[in-house]
Structure 1
Amino acid sequence: MSIDVTVLRVFTDSAGNFGNPLGAVDGATVEADQRQRLATQLGYSETVFIDMPAPGSASAHARIYTPLTELPFAGHPTVGASWWLRELGTPIRTLQVPAGVVQVSYDNDLTSISARSEWSPEYAIHDVESLEDLAAADPSDFPDDVAHYLWAWIDESAGALRSRMFAANLGVPEDEATGSAAVRITDYLSRDLSITQGKGSVIETTWSPQGWVQVAGRVVNDGVRQVG
């Protein structure tokens, strides 16, 4: 029996370009012990399995897998899942993941989630001196025992920065857009940010001194992929 996987691109720019591919799957169609195998087969940086909201409910549950492991929280799957549910006619206000309850909101073409920094995986954060050095960085030069988040200012006064993520430890040599890392860097710098990651994906964040970070982005649906 084939499984329908909706392929989303999360954190596109305002024209719908770039973004990080995500596999979105109705959790009822895949047994729990088969989800890691499917995520590995798909090869996206993450695949999210969503338990659809009950009728009249504004809450859903989700589990997130990289090609190698399950994550308790990740940004682009929670933004993507929340956007997808609204497209299906079931917008939500909360999304339960193993790390905790993610708050969800919608503002025209932006979908936002709020999460805590400690929910994100540990990253080695590298403050890179220049945009040129950032562009020249080679993933093979970084050890694969931890994920590496590299960043440099585009415009410090405006909170605009450029970033790259190398996550071989999660089975992702370079990630195009990483919402959980956006949470970490926002908390690290303690300010709102506009992040351009990878080839041109865009992540907007809002920092709260109460320990919450809001992550907002745009999503595009690239259609359904059937996997046997």
Structure 2
Amino acid sequence: MTQLQVLKVFVAAADRGELWIHTPAVELPLAGHPLVGTSWLLRREGVEVPVLRPPAGEVPTWVDGDDTWIRARPEWAPEFDMHQLAAPTDVDAHPGAGRDKVLQVWSWGDETAGDVRVRVFPTRMGIDEDEATGSAAIRLGALLRRPLTIHQGVASRIVVEPAPDGTVAIGGRVEFVERADYSDA
């Protein structure tokens, strides 16, 4: 059985959106999907905040239809060793990364439509492979400077919208799976 490698978000002040993000190995100043998920969860719990405040800075958040969004500066995201591959099948067949890597491999699925297949191996952060990596999506959106739909993991879809001011918005649908108690963790 594979052990689930979890990013944890610690909310210090829900009404102000103050929080910290940790992987199994490091604290992150910004992580896209934990912020999208935290924004969604706070709303679900009746706390609507227009801005989240991770260590990196103020991150606006909003809902549009079924998608929850954040907007951040790409330089706040962790750096990824990014490699473009020839085809989505090459991305799917990639063997992964060594122990001290933060690797993103990607390929156009349909360049005209902005569809991209991605896998991320943040092993230096204590995670073998991430199902959805919003911070890598922010970095890729800044690099390519165009709207994208990123398909990552088994079923993750990350919508990417770069802005003229250099920030990048990412969004997607969040699904509640289960409530876990980490009080003893």
TM category, shorter: over 0.9
Alignment of 1:150-161 (within 5 A): 150-161=105-116
**What is the one-letter code of the residue matched to 2:105?**
L
> C-alpha distance in 2, partners of 1:75/1:170?
15
Provide the secondary structure at the position in 2 that maps to 1:175: coil
Matched, 1:201 2:156: yes
TM-superposed CA distance for 1:42, in Å, is 7.5
In the aligned structure 2, how far is the partner of 1:130 from the partner of 1:219?
28
1:88 maps to 45
Partners in 2 of 1:48 and 1:83 — Cα distance?
Answer: 13
The alpha carbon displacement at 1:201 in A equals 0.6
Match of 1:132 among 79, 89, 99: 89
Q: Is the 8 A contact 1:117 1:183 kept in 2?
A: yes
1:153-182 CA deviation, whole Å, 9 max, x = no partner?
111001011000011101111111000000
- Percent identity at matched positions? 41
Give the conservation status (yes or no) of the 8 Å contact 1:131–1:153: yes
The alignment's TM-score, normalised by the length of structure 2, stands at 0.93
Deviations 1:113-170 (A, max 9, x none): 000100011100000011221111101xx33323000000111001011000011101
Within the candidate set 58, 62, 78, 1:105 is matched to 62
Tell me, in whole angstroms, the C-alpha distance in 1 between the residues paired with 2:175 and 2:13.
20
Give the corresponding residue for 1:214.
169
1:47 aligns with 2:2: no
Q: Which of 67, 80, 83 is matched with 1:123 structurally?
A: 80
Secondary structure at the aligned position of 1:81 is classed as helix
TM-score for both structures, normalised by structure 1: 0.76
Match of 1:30 in 2: none
Aligned to 1:5: none
Q: What letter is aligned with 1:90?
A: V
Higher relative contact order (CA 8 A, sep 6+): 1
* Residue in 2 that maps onto 1:37: none
Task: Tell me if the contact between 1:122 and 1:146 (Cα under 8 Å) persists in the aligned partners.
Answer: no
Distance 1:225 1:53, change over 3 A: closer
Matched length:
181
- Alpha-carbon displacement from aligned partner over 1:22-41 (angstroms, at most 9, x marks no partner): xxxxxxxxxxxxxxxxxxx9
Q: Structure 1 stretches of 5 or more lacking a match?
A: 1-40
Secondary structure of the residue aligned to 1:173 is: coil
Counterpart position of 2:123 = 168
> Of Structure 1 and Structure 2, which has the larger fraction of its residues in strand?
1
Q: How big is the shift at 1:109?
A: 1.6
> Could you say if the C-alpha distance between residues 42 and 164 of structure 1 is closer, same or farther in structure 2, counting changes exceeding 3 Å?
closer
Whole-angstrom CA distance in 2 between matches of 1:42 and 1:175: 10
RMSD: 1.5
SS state of the match for residue 168, structure 2? strand
Q: Name the amino acid aligned to 1:224.
A: R
SS in 1 for 2:14: coil
The question of 1:74 aligning with 2:36 is answered: no
Letter in 2 for 1:47: K
